[in-house]
A and B are shown apart, each in its own frame.
Chain A
Amino acid sequence: MALLDVEDLSVTFQRRGQRTVHAVDGVSFSVDAGEVVALVGESGCGKSVTSLALMGLLPRRGAKVGGSANFDGTDLLAQDQRSMRDIRGRDVAMIFQDPLSSLNPVIPVGIQVTEVLVRHRGMSGDAARKEAAELLDRVGIPDPRRRLKEYPHQLSGGMRQRALIAIAVACRPRLLIADEPTTALDVTIQAQILELLKELVRDSNTALIMITHDLGVVAGMCDTINVLYAGRVVESAQRRELFAAPRHPYTVGLLRSIPRLDAGRGEKLTPIPGSVRDVLPWVEGCAFAPRCNRRIDACVGAPPAMVPTHTGHSYRCVNPVPVEEKQ
């Protein structure tokens, strides 16, 4: 059994006088120890909401969470706030997108690193400071003792993200959720941060859920990839399989809209027209149909089901892209 089994996760946002929004609509996936699983999709597809739901960080009013998330025997979605607080940071930790706003601007970095050590590992004073310095050293921050005394704005962007990662891995969590960890960073720094994450996962056998819109990030480090569209998984496959033979038109669209160095001079990028519909997208058939160039009559009416294949590759499409057609 996998370390984390997410089964039919759904999140709906309800506000009086407004239409209910199905942000996540029956997402299922699983993550094993030492495995890197990606949730990929464009803005509004529900990938961040999925991560917040798993962490129990969604607002208690207005957000309704359904389904289950079995984490080593405990259902993360069924925990009350008190026990969830003990799990967060210790067993499951999260790395956020913007390292500057995720660090408290008026407190030295050191205190923010030791805070979690004090909270979950019962360390105090000198021991915590020593451990914090070691953590910063481990994530590749030079001169950690000095950095501990500095404020977030005195660190560079990459350094801040490293510090944030140090805080997240401080208690050696078994599951890490990285929500767009490289989006706010320079391209050069991005590669370093991804390398660091890969290393941490390999060394400590941590499971990592990588949330990103960037297929480049995914190609570099993820084992399994789940492509999300409008709150549902539309394609799920091993990395090689997905890049070699994408079946869902949306995945193909995503791949075609990435600039490639090996593309010919005259070749143009093909953007996907339109944007995600946010209200009940899956009720009247495939949510991607209005933007799809392979739309057929069967797309409208009933929502398509996941089609499994013998390789573990599955897709949610009634008119999938044939394998040969991939360029």
Chain B
Amino acid sequence: MTLASGQKKEKLDRLGELAAVRDDEQGVSLWRDAFRRLRRNPAAIVGAIILALFVLVAIVGPFLVPYDPAAPIGVQDGVVRSGQGIIPGPSSDHWLGYDHQGRDEFSRLIAGSRQTLIVGVVSTLIGLTVGVLLGGLSGAAAGLGGRWGRWVDNILMRIVDMLLSVPGLLLAVSFAAILGPSPITVMIAVGAVSVPIFARLLRGSMIAQSNRDYVLAATSLGVRRWKIAISHVIPNSLAPVIVQATLTLATAIIEVAALSFLGLGTQVLGQPEWGLMLAEAQQYLGIRPALAIYPAVAIIITAFGFTLLGEAMREALDPKLRK
């Protein structure tokens, strides 16, 4: 998602520039420069391909599945009797066999990707938004705000510290317990876990940028402090936050699965979700371990894709590696 919109923006920027200046061959901004280095990194390509496939499957997959992922076909046909330990494996009709309720496992896996993607992305966006607001305010206050600013920064950061001191999953579970199990709960809970990370990251980055010469130069021109924060400091501080967002997507997907596994996620009847599938497969590990392996592998591959791309972005944007 981040990638897709990033590319689109990239393209728009490029088009805009080409339209404006034709002979500008070396129009390389920080981001375009990073993007060029990304393309040369095999890990980034692999990560991007995995993610592209994942997003594609999540978007069009549910329309193409061979069977209704919620329909207990196997039970209706009498081939699945999980009570007696009979869950048939892969066949030419059902590529990954049935699950314990006689539903087509392949269809469920495909359909589950959408849920996972939506929850993962939305929860990361929640975390990113709140984190950037908190961190941005705190960073601006600490870097440019004077004595009052330090107070604001202190208070905000202590709140963030409190969030940070609670283990992530415990925090998520507490949120889920307070709000009651639902997909929205999962999104908020997983988002809340990443808030302190984003906030701290942006704040630190902003404070570092606040001491740079161009901030002093802008100050020497009488530019107002909030304007300096918004138009000078934040744009220069966002790179690590964006990298972190990509990496957070990976953990968010795993955390969403974990919450579903604990029964705090999707409760809509029959709606497939990878973590939930994993939880359900637990009871039948002795009979059909593959039922646990499929969603697990799907989760791992997706998280791997996000991590690969995130790490590659970190490298591409690292100022130390830039010439």
User: What would 6 more interface pairs be, CB under 8 Å, given A93-B220, A94-B220?
Assistant: A88-B220, A101-B213, A101-B214, A105-B214, A106-B235, A115-B231
**Residue ID in chain A nearest B232 by CB atoms:** A104
Determine the chain B residues whose CB is within 8 A of the CB of A88 once the complex forms. 219-222
Say how far B145's CB is from chain A's closest CB, in angstroms. Answer: 11
Determine the chain A residues whose CB is within 8 A of the CB of B219 once the complex forms. 57, 88
Interface residues of B in 18-32 (CB under 8 A from A): 20-21, 24, 26-30
- How would residues 146 to 177 of chain A score, 1 for a CB under 8 Å from any chain B CB and 0 otherwise? 10011101100000000010011000000000
Say how far A245's CB is from chain B's closest CB, in angstroms. Answer: 36
The 4 A-B residue pairs whose C-beta atoms are closest, nearest first, are A89-B221, A89-B222, A88-B222, A101-B213
Determine the chain A residues whose CB is within 8 A of the CB of B235 once the complex forms. 104, 106-107
**Residue ID in chain B nearest A86 by CB atoms:** B222
Interface residues of B in 203-234 (CB under 8 A from A): 212-214, 216-224, 227, 231-232
Q: Does B146 contact A (CB under 8 A)?
A: yes
Say how far B217's CB is from chain A's closest CB, in angstroms. Answer: 4
Interface residues of A in 85-142 (CB under 8 A from B): 85-90, 93-94, 96, 98, 101-107, 111, 115-116, 119-120
Query: Would you call B212 and A101 a contact (CB within 8 A)?
Result: yes
Q: Which residues in A have some Cβ–Cβ distance to B below 8 Å?
A: 55, 57, 60-61, 81, 84-90, 93-94, 96, 98, 101-107, 111, 115-116, 119-120, 146, 149-151, 153-154, 164, 167-168
Q: Does B17 contact A (CB under 8 A)?
A: yes
Query: Would you call A96 and B213 a contact (CB within 8 A)?
Result: yes
Determine the chain A residues whose CB is within 8 A of the CB of B24 once the complex forms. 146, 149-150
Chain B contact residue count (CB 8 A cutoff): 28
Query: Would you call B21 and A149 a contact (CB within 8 A)?
Result: yes
Say how far A274's CB is from chain B's closest CB, in angstroms. Answer: 30
Say how far B34's CB is from chain A's closest CB, in angstroms. Answer: 11
Query: Would you call A106 and B30 a contact (CB within 8 A)?
Result: yes
Determine the chain B residues whose CB is within 8 A of the CB of A86 once the complex forms. 222
Q: Does B236 contact A (CB under 8 A)?
A: yes
Give the distance in Å from the alpha carbon of A107 to the alpha carbon of B29 in the complex: 9
Query: Would you call B222 and A85 a contact (CB within 8 A)?
Result: yes
Q: Which residues in B have some Cβ–Cβ distance to A below 8 Å?
A: 17, 20-21, 24, 26-30, 146-147, 212-214, 216-224, 227, 231-232, 235-236
Query: Would you call A106 and B217 a contact (CB within 8 A)?
Result: no
22 A-B contacts (beta carbon < 8 Å) = A57-B219, A85-B223, A87-B222, A88-B219, A88-B222, A89-B223, A93-B220, A93-B221, A94-B217, A94-B220, A96-B216, A103-B217, A105-B214, A106-B29, A106-B235, A106-B236, A107-B232, A111-B231, A115-B223, A119-B222, A153-B28, A167-B217
Taking a contact as CB atoms closer than 8 A, the residue among B20, B214, B220, B231 that contacts A55 in the complex is B220
Say how far B189's CB is from chain A's closest CB, in angstroms. Answer: 34
Query: Would you call B221 and A102 a contact (CB within 8 A)?
Result: no
> Given A107-B232, A151-B29, are A167 and B146 neighbors across the interface (CB < 8 Å)?
no
Determine the chain B residues whose CB is within 8 A of the CB of A87 once the complex forms. 222
Give the distance in Å from the alpha carbon of A55 to the alpha carbon of B217 in the complex: 11
Residue of A88, A94, A106, A116 ringed by the most chain B CB atoms within 10 A: A106
Give the distance in Å from the alpha carbon of A101 to the alpha carbon of B218 in the complex: 12
Give the distance in Å from the alpha carbon of A94 to the alpha carbon of B221 in the complex: 8
Give the distance in Å from the alpha carbon of A60 to the alpha carbon of B223 in the complex: 18
**Residue ID in chain A nearest B221 by CB atoms:** A89
Say how far B156's CB is from chain A's closest CB, in angstroms. Answer: 20
Determine the chain A residues whose CB is within 8 A of the CB of B214 once the complex forms. 101-105
Give the distance in Å from the alpha carbon of A146 to the alpha carbon of B20 in the complex: 9
> Given A101-B212, A104-B232, A106-B30, are A119 and B217 neighbors across the interface (CB < 8 Å)?
no
Give the distance in Å from the alpha carbon of A109 to the alpha carbon of B227 in the complex: 16
**Residue ID in chain B nearest A81 by CB atoms:** B146
Query: Would you call B231 and A107 a contact (CB within 8 A)?
Result: yes
Determine the chain B residues whose CB is within 8 A of the CB of A102 once the complex forms. 213-214, 216-217
Give the distance in Å from the alpha carbon of A115 to the alpha carbon of B236 in the complex: 17
Determine the chain A residues whose CB is within 8 A of the CB of B220 once the complex forms. 55, 57, 88-89, 93-94, 96
Say how far A302's CB is from chain B's closest CB, in angstroms. Answer: 38
Say how far B109's CB is from chain A's closest CB, in angstroms. Answer: 42
Give the distance in Å from the alpha carbon of A106 to the alpha carbon of B236 in the complex: 6
Give the distance in Å from the alpha carbon of A105 to the alpha carbon of B209 in the complex: 11
> Given A104-B232, A107-B232, are A115 and B218 neighbors across the interface (CB < 8 Å)?
yes
Query: Would you call A105 and B30 a contact (CB within 8 A)?
Result: yes
Query: Would you call A119 and B221 a contact (CB within 8 A)?
Result: yes
**Residue ID in chain B nearest A97 by CB atoms:** B213
Determine the chain B residues whose CB is within 8 A of the CB of A90 once the complex forms. 222
